[in-house]
Amino acid sequence: MDQGAYRFDMDDVDDDYTETKSFFRTSEFWIGVLVGAAVLLAAYASTDDSLSRDDGWRYVSAIAIGYMVSRGLAKAGTREPD
């Protein structure tokens, strides 16, 4: 195995790139905010028991976890130019 080629690959890091774009510039963030707000609005505005406030907060927590997972996958090895 050629150690020189391996070392070159490891040192080939271009500093002109960031890993991903900022969180507030992603569509996942804004969609998550809008859907979370809609779920909470529906939970608090509901007069019947179709969607309780506890369920609303549970769904918003699931949306937040989904966003974190999608953001983690997006950051897995992708880069964006500075």
pTM of the model: 0.63
Q: What is the pLDDT along the chain (82 residues), one digit of tens a residue?
A: 555 555 555 555 555 666 567 777 778 888 999 999 999 999 999 778 788 899 999 999 999 999 888 888 877 766 666 5
Cα pseudo-dihedral 52, 57, 61, 66, rounded to 10? 50
Q: Where do the structural domains in the chain lie, given as residue ranges?
A: 18-81
Q: In whole angstroms, what is the distance from residue 25 CA to residue 74 CA?
A: 13
